[in-house]
Structure 1
């Protein structure tokens, strides 16, 4: 057994009460310092937040494009949820919606175009911070205009649109990341970001204009005394923060830039944690709510939506699943168990990945069998926050290499192939100054002519 002896001048020799009390305290301090340095020193989960950004932007963009012919009936002047009903509903808790600022059809078209363009910009990662704010305003405007339109997937998009504003979701797989790489490598000329300045100026002008017109309230009340900041205060704070960040970034690196960068990392990591907790809360509440239902308890809950015409895009496929009572019971009980157990598996990587794969398969099945593609895409996008980084890097490399492979294949097909003379059974005559080739049998058309050797090999 090894014994430890203390030096004569040691204030706290090993085994003493003071030493035993100092060691755990020092460990706690070291762990706390390490955690603070990690949270403020880097933006965690860059690939996960990028996938969440791409997934929800694609979900909202696809929904807007699919419903473009019916946009007036869903959210416009022809909606069953009339202008008066929308005003009465929004007066209860004052949600944000730009569609109630004017009854003109032209204003509705402008807001719809803004929602489409912001979703496209967020999908591509162009000016990600600005596009995330515009994306949030577009989602809030439409979903708060007509509360009778939507499903669970729309609620998830509504929540995540606000959380994405907090994250630095354009670190990878975005046009912003590509622009930064080009500047760091010297491929692009460094200089002031004129596009960003103009975008910030134009948006600031309209923001201040709408605040002056009273379209965006500065404060709203919770009672006779309590006041909380409203949308005008929040949006102006974001706008001023963007201006301050640009100003500091254009200056030499120093303490102000380090402080703002640490603050941005802290807000990003807080937003990422909120997304993780929100997804766990969704699955936990959904699973425990199903347990209380009698149809889920007896294992027949999955049977009923398969028999509804509204949720049967492929009736024959739904009938095949509904015909097997055993399969219906397995799917019903399996859905409840996976949803209830998932939040408790986050600390076990292998089990978490297995349940995550099962949930993704479940959402894909819902998209096909029940005809809810945007709900499934929204839930898969939310689940992507738990995907391992190794898998995301591998998948990103394969997807990014796919266009190059396709382009290389098209170039190979477009290149003209010269038919050799021997393909027709004729042996070409030797060139002057070259050794005569031996006479051989005619070459079959199915046998390609061998590749010509390099010049230095033929003359050696």
Structure 2
């Protein structure tokens, strides 16, 4: 008992004290927003036939289905072409801003609204990856996915630096967004646009109220620094919700692979090792016929891929307790999805699954990935020119401000003005 209690205490402190997996949730945010954005852009010429007024699944059929299942979609509020174009454009915009990590909490909500609105409008469009994206768009709302690799992280870092210099930091964009979206949410609710299933309306109102409470408490605890018991309590609640959502995402990924693997075991074609052969000879799944023929020409290769797929999918959930084996299978699964994207012509399904797999990537690898990205960004010609200009200006300012023999010793103040361009300082955003 004496050993159990300290372990439980440490576990509770870990769950409540910090948002776990900041790099993993950032990768999930980037992966799913990029997947949805690329899909929307690719289908831009065909958007009216897929989800719009010209869809074979007409507005009246969609209304009948939604009346039965209570699914949420903003496209049912109007059957006009202009409203459809607005929803589609907002779906693209929210994907871009979530990808960049600008106001991630708000953008994650709008991203979810865009995903649900389009997918629930035409339920027969998709290749399996849409189901994963559908679920993950809801889970992302509950995560603190903008802690690293985001414009929010950069803004928070700059705000902390400004407070350290004694400057007052005021956020005007956040309250304006909160008021505008609150007005729209109230209008839609009163108009009966949220009369379907209770979950999505409850989630929207809960997030809106929580954001307002967060801002009000932060304003009352000294310029949003985060001091005071109310802000600490809200931070603990946010951490618990984030960590719970992260566990659900991991469990969802494991469930997908486990169910897929066990269902495959029951199929006769998977049992005799020939299942992979058949989709390679379907026109719909053969964008590169020569490549498909090359893979299916060897019976041994087909058998190895068929049995290997089943083994990896069934075994993966059981390898989570062994880091090395888990990393090996994770690399194999990501490679398999990349091959599926090319050989079978399912890029968005593969991107969605790779993004879901990213939740299991090691933090050390993601940190190195962030460091490589930061160094690559700093090597860009325009950024190097900006750094040289700031360094030159800072050096000139230091010399002018402190002339004479003291310029060398006091020049550190001038150098500090150029720290923003220092790759070591820039990397702080990836470690937040």
CA distance in 2, matches of 1:190, 1:283: 50
CA distance in 1, matches of 2:363, 2:127: 30
1:151 Cα deviation after fit: 1.6
| Cα RMSD (Å) | 1.6
1:404 Cα deviation after fit: 2.4
Q: Which residue of 2 aligns with 1:113?
A: 89
Question: Residues 205 and 408 from structure 1, CA distance in 2 versus in 1: closer, same or farther, beyond 3 angstroms?
Answer: closer
In the alignment of these two chains, the number of paired residues is 378
Q: Does 1:330 align with 2:307?
A: no
Q: Which among 118, 124, 132 is matched to residue 156 of structure 1?
A: 132
Equivalent residues in 2 for 1:91-240, closer than 5 Å: 91-186=67-162, 190-217=168-195, 229-240=198-209
Q: Which among 31, 41, 46 is matched to residue 17 of structure 2?
A: 41
- Alignment check: 8 A CA contact 2:159 2:169 kept: no
Q: Which among 28, 34, 51 is matched to residue 75 of structure 1?
A: 51
Q: Which residue of 1 aligns with 2:343?
A: 369
CA distance in 2, matches of 1:367, 1:67: 17
Q: Which residue of 1 aligns with 2:217?
A: 248
Structure 2, unaligned stretches of length 5 or more?
222-226, 386-432
CA distance in 2, matches of 1:233, 1:278: 22
CA distance in 2, matches of 1:99, 1:282: 29
- Alignment check: 8 A CA contact 2:37 2:95 kept: yes
CA distance in 2, matches of 1:216, 1:156: 24
Q: Which residue of 1 aligns with 2:327?
A: 353
Larger Rg: 1
- Alignment check: 8 A CA contact 1:192 1:250 kept: no
Q: Deviations over 1:290-347 (max 9, x none)?
A: 1111111111111111111111111111111110110010000000000000000000
- Alignment check: 8 A CA contact 1:122 1:132 kept: yes
Q: Does 1:314 align with 2:314?
A: no
CA distance in 2, matches of 1:251, 1:335: 55
Q: Which residue of 1 aligns with 2:236?
A: 262
Q: TM-score, normalised by structure 1?
A: 0.80
- Alignment check: 8 A CA contact 2:378 2:384 kept: no
Q: Does 1:384 align with 2:362?
A: no
Structure 1, unaligned stretches of length 5 or more?
1-23, 221-228, 412-460
SS at match of 1:302: helix
- Alignment check: 8 A CA contact 2:24 2:363 kept: yes
Q: TM-score, normalised by structure 2?
A: 0.85
CA distance in 2, matches of 1:213, 1:384: 40
